[in-house]
Amino acid sequence: MSGHDLPSEPFERAVACVIPAKDEADRIAATVDAVHKIIGVDLVVVVDDGSADGTAEAAERAGAVVVRHDRNRGKAAAMETGAVAVAARDGARPRHLLFLDADLTDSATAAAPLIEPVQNGTADMTIGTLPAQVRADGSKAGGHGFVVRLARAGVEEATGWAPEQPLSGQRCLTRAAFDSAVPLAAGFGVETALSIDLGRKGFRILEVPIEVRHRATGTDLRGQLHRAKQYLHVRRALAARSALPADGGGPSLRSLFPRKSGQ
C-alpha cells in the first residue's frame, strides 16, 4: 500500500524490539535470545502485562529490559508502555520499533526481513505474513477465518487496500508512524486499527513474508472463546472508525459457535 510522500527516516537508525507478554515464562527467554540475534536490533523490551508466572524474571535473565504492569491491561497498553520505555532510552535519533509476539521462541530471528524496508525508507510500517501454522499434533491451526475476513474487509473499506494477514502482530514501524497512531485501539483490534489509522494518514504499509511460528490456537472451547473475543474487538475498532463492511461485519456471534447435530 502506498500513500502520499512522507519524510523517510535514515537507514542507519537502530531498532528496538518490544514484546508484550503475559504468562509466557516457558517461551519468553527463547524469544528474547532469538531477537538478540537480529541484526539492527540493539534493545529488547519485554512488557510483562500482569503475568502470574515467572515471565518477567525469565525475560530479565535472557537480557531484556523488563517493564511490568501490576495488572493485565491488554496488548495495546503493553505496546504503548514498551514504546515509552524505548523513548526513555533514545537519544536525539529515535529508534524504529519492532513489535513481536512473546511465543515465537527461536523462530523470532526470522522476523528480520521486517526491518530493512523501514530502515531504507521503502515503508513506514511492515506487517509480517506468516506461513500456515500447525499444532503440535500436525493439524492445521486456526478457526473458520471469520475474524480475518472481517478485519480484511474493514481495512479495505477504510483504505482501499486489502491486506493478506490483517491480524498479524509482527510489525516494524518508524517512530513517527507509531506516534501518529497513539492512542492505540484496545484489545485484539489493535492491529486492524493500526493499518486503518496509518493508511488513512498516508503512511506506506508493506506486507513481508516471514517464516515465524507461534503457539497455535485450538478448536476447543477455549480457542472458540478467544476467537469470539477477537471478533468483537475487531468489530468494535472498525465501528469506531466508520469502517464496518457494507454487509455489517459478517456472521453473527452465534455462528462462531456452531451447534453439534442433535442439539
The 10s digit of each residue's pLDDT in 103-134 is 999 999 999 999 999 999 999 999 999 987 55
Q: Strands, E, within 15-107: which ranges?
A: 15-21, 41-49, 65-69, 96-99
Task: Tell me whether residue 7 is in a domain.
Answer: no
Task: Tell me whether residue 4 is in a domain.
Answer: no
Condensed to tens digits (0 to 9), the pLDDT of residues 187-245 reads: 899 999 999 999 999 999 999 999 999 766 655 556 567 678 889 999 999 999 999 99
Residues 157/200, Cβ–Cβ less than 8 Å: no
Residues 208/129, Cβ–Cβ less than 8 Å: yes
Instruction: Kindly tell me if the per-residue pLDDT of 9 is higher than 50.
Output: no
**CA–CA dist 53, 24 (Å, integer):** 8
Alpha helices in 90-220 (DSSP H): 116-119, 146-159, 175-181, 190-200
Task: Tell me whether residue 259 is in a domain.
Answer: no
Task: Tell me whether residue 61 is in a domain.
Answer: yes
Task: Tell me whether residue 2 is in a domain.
Answer: no
Task: Tell me whether residue 205 is in a domain.
Answer: yes
Task: Tell me whether residue 263 is in a domain.
Answer: no
Edge-to-edge strands, sheet with 205-209: 65-69, 41-49, 15-21, 96-99, 171-173, 125-129, 205-209
Q: What is the pLDDT of residue 225?
A: 72
Condensed to tens digits (0 to 9), the pLDDT of residues 143-165 reads: 568 899 999 999 999 999 999 99
What does pTM read for this prediction? 0.86
What is the identity of the amino acid at 49? D
State the total domains in the chain: 1
Coil, helix or strand at residue 197:
helix
Q: What is the pLDDT of residue 236?
A: 96
Q: What is the pLDDT of residue 256?
A: 46
Task: Tell me whether residue 40 is in a domain.
Answer: yes
Q: What CATH number does residue 43 fall under?
A: 3.90.550.10
**22: domain range?**
15-252
Condensed to tens digits (0 to 9), the pLDDT of residues 19-71 reads: 999 999 999 999 999 999 999 999 999 999 999 999 999 999 999 999 999 99
